[in-house]
Amino acid sequence: MKNLGKNIRLLRHQKSWSQEEAARQLAISIPAFSKIETGVTDINLSRLEQIAKLFELPVTELLSIGTARSDADSETLVKLNIKVRNRELELADLQKKVIELYEELRQVKVTI
């Protein structure tokens, strides 16, 4: 968690924000934010998502700032992202089909 805290501090400095400004935007106290930056406090997923949103980054990038990623890892991530996108498209198509079938069923019930 200390690396995460360092990443958060680095991002805060890049934005030229004080701890007070960052804490205010997260609706937490300054000491609570300081504990996050120093790694004293473990943060939950919702807080992690909130911090990532504050810095306009995906959570994965917030966690990986300053860590080297191998080409193989990057390639795997790209492939997995493509698979996820394809599954999302398939899901959207299936949802459309379900809606169409419900509409057809409703039409059949109306005519009966």
pLDDT in tens, the chain (112 residues): 578 898 899 899 999 999 999 999 999 999 999 999 999 988 999 999 999 999 998 998 888 876 655 566 777 887 888 999 999 999 999 999 999 999 999 999 888 7
Q: Shortest CA distance to 104 belongs to which of 1, 6, 112?
A: 112
Are 52 and 11 within one domain? yes
What is this structure's pTM? Answer: 0.57
Domain with 46 in it: what CATH number? 1.10.260.40
Are 34 and 83 within one domain? no
Are 12 and 58 within one domain? yes
Are 11 and 28 within one domain? yes
Q: Shortest CA distance to 48 belongs to which of 6, 8, 3, 2?
A: 8
Are 44 and 83 within one domain? no
How many angstroms separate the CA atoms of 33 and 27, rounded?
Answer: 10
Are 12 and 51 within one domain? yes
105: containing domain = 69-112
| Whether the Cβ atoms of residue 23 and residue 32 lie closer than 8 Å to each other | yes
